[in-house]
Amino acid sequence: MDSGRFFRGIARITGGFSPSLSVRAFMRVLLSAADLAAGIERLAAEVRREAGDTPLVVVGVLTGSIVIVADLIRRLDGPVRVSMAWASSYRGTATEPGTLRLHLDLLPDLTGQDVLVVDDIFDTGRTMEAIVAALKQRGAATVRSLVLLRKQGRGEVAIEPDFVGFEIPDVFVVGYGLDFDGTLRQLDHVAALDEADIAAVRASKPPLGVP
């Protein structure tokens, strides 16, 4: 994208904020929209290679997985049903996870089903570990896990995701569904926020991404 279009895009998203703040918070593009599209295509092929034509119940983890799920299910050939679970680590403006809460009330009966849990990122792995365990307990025949991103050197659990789109360094990322304090999910790329970006977003009122 040419820089003029980029900066006009930022101005549109952040309307009313100082250009230096807006640009700062968006500068480090880690994965472009094209990178992400290729990654989703590859993930979908890997899932079908492994699962064959088996009907899959895709369980997206709200809210970060909404964009990934929407793109992935349109690439997954074969029978698919979609449902959602909700998990929150209460991050707010913190960038470290807090207490994990799960809400599984939206899920259908999963007895005997082949489930694919889809989340945005595998950081400590605690969210995925808890959801996979809960779905197995609900009688799913198989539970596979897919994440768009995995942060290196952060894992705190014994499980590994079955499918990983991209390995990324230990940085805080936003966009393509991932948020900072509820904002910036709408970016079509994944960007890294450094400490100064985070301080700038924390200081902005109303928060970035909410015109």
- Annotated catalytic residues are 123
Q: Which helix (H) or strand (E) holds 34?
A: helix 33-51
User: What does the block give as tokens for 93?
Assistant: 């403006």
Q: Which amino acid is located at 86 in the chain?
A: W
Is 125 near ligand IMP (CB under 6 A)?
A: yes
Among the listed ranges 12-20, 73-81, 125-133, 135-143, the one in contact with ligand IMP (CB under 6 A) is 125-133
Nearest distance in Å: CB 47, ligand IMP: 19
Chain centroid to Cα 187, Å, comes to: 12
Would you state the structure tokens that stand for residue 67, as one six-digit string? 């964009």
Nearer to ligand IMP, 11 or 66 (CB): 66
Chain-centroid distance, C-alpha 65 = 5
β-strand partners of 57: 81, 115
Q: According to the binding rule CB under 6 A, does residue 22 interact with ligand IMP?
A: no
- Max intra-chain CA distance, the chain: 54
Our finding on whether 127 is near ligand IMP (CB under 6 A) is yes
- 162: contact with ligand IMP by CB under 6 A: no
64 binds Mg ion (CB under 5 A): yes
Q: Is 166 in the site for ligand IMP (CB under 6 A)?
A: no
Interface positions with Mg ion (CB under 5 A)? 64
